[in-house]
Structure 1
Amino acid sequence: MTPSRFDFAGQVTRVVDGDTFWISGERTRIRVWGLDAPEIGRTGGSAATAQLAGLVSGRSVQCRMRDVDRYGRIVGQCWLPDGRDIAAAMIASGTAREYCRFSGNYYGTC
């Protein structure tokens, strides 16, 4: 369900990997909350990055800030203009999985 209030929004300007991207108007990267994608250079990393890029590149997203991680990235739960939760879409694609340690089984896959 899409929340009625967001902490920030912007257009995705660059996808870093399968769970991290930059948006206009933010000075730090956005780490997708509840999502664990393989790193680039690891098995599945390129597929996850391509999947996220296909979902969000150049599109506007709206996010709710959940945390700031140890690397200084904003950890955000983000939605596409059509209301789809980005992490849920990535999990459904099979290119990433729910980050159960942090999500508390929010997406029901833990």
Structure 2
Amino acid sequence: MIVSVLAIVVLSVGPASAQTNTVSGAVRYVTDGDTLSLRGVDRPIRVWGLDAPERNERGASAATSTLQRLVAGQSLTCRVRDIDRYGRIVGQCFLPDGRDIAAQMIAAGVAREYCYFSGGYYGTCRGN
């Protein structure tokens, strides 16, 4: 019976609470053009709504270096939107001045909007 109650409690704080939480911290390092780590946050953060080229694809190094320049020395605040299948936080991340990381990367032309997940939030998906 205790196990059943525990299971209900764990399930009830899953995605719903994840969507209302935020994490913040100084940027520790950039993994690639759409993933980074913050000091004090145990999991890597996959930037929500952003699709950057993978390491073996053309444009990957440009995306990674652009993200590095954008966030270097910054403290970010990320609204937790989900946890992906790799255990990463999927977060909509903002610079101290309020600029949205994904919007900046899309505007720089080094990544594109991940329309499947963003629902056209950044206005670059067909049909918007």
1:81 matches 2:76: no
What is the 5 A alignment of 1:1-110? 7-110=22-125
The residue type paired with residue 49 of structure 2 is G
* Residue 102 of structure 1: how far off its partner (Å): 0.1
Contact 1:12 1:22 in 2 (8 A): yes
* Residue 6 of structure 1: how far off its partner (Å): 6.1
Look up the SS of the partner of 1:53 in the other structure: helix
Q: TM-score, normalising length from structure 1?
A: 0.93
Look up the SS of the partner of 1:90 in the other structure: helix
Q: Which protein has greater RCO, CA pairs closer than 8 Å, 6+ apart?
A: 1
Cα-to-partner distance string for 1:35-85 (whole Å, 9 max, x where unaligned): 000011210000000000000122100110000000000000010011100
Provide the alpha-carbon RMSD of the alignment: 1.1
Q: TM-score, normalising length from structure 2?
A: 0.80
Contact 1:6 1:62 in 2 (8 A): no
- Structure 1 residue runs without a partner (length 5+): none
Contact 1:16 1:22 in 2 (8 A): yes
The residue type paired with residue 14 of structure 1 is Y
Look up the SS of the partner of 1:61 in the other structure: strand
Which residue is equivalent to 2:15?
none
The residue type paired with residue 79 of structure 2 is R
Greater share of residues in helix: 2
Name the CA distance, whole Å, in 2 between partners of 1:70 and 1:94. Answer: 27
The residue type paired with residue 11 of structure 1 is A
Name the CA distance, whole Å, in 2 between partners of 1:8 and 1:63. Answer: 5
Name the CA distance, whole Å, in 2 between partners of 1:8 and 1:70. Answer: 19
* Residue 26 of structure 1: how far off its partner (Å): 0.6
Q: Which has the larger radius of gyration?
A: 2
- Equivalent residue pairs, number: 106
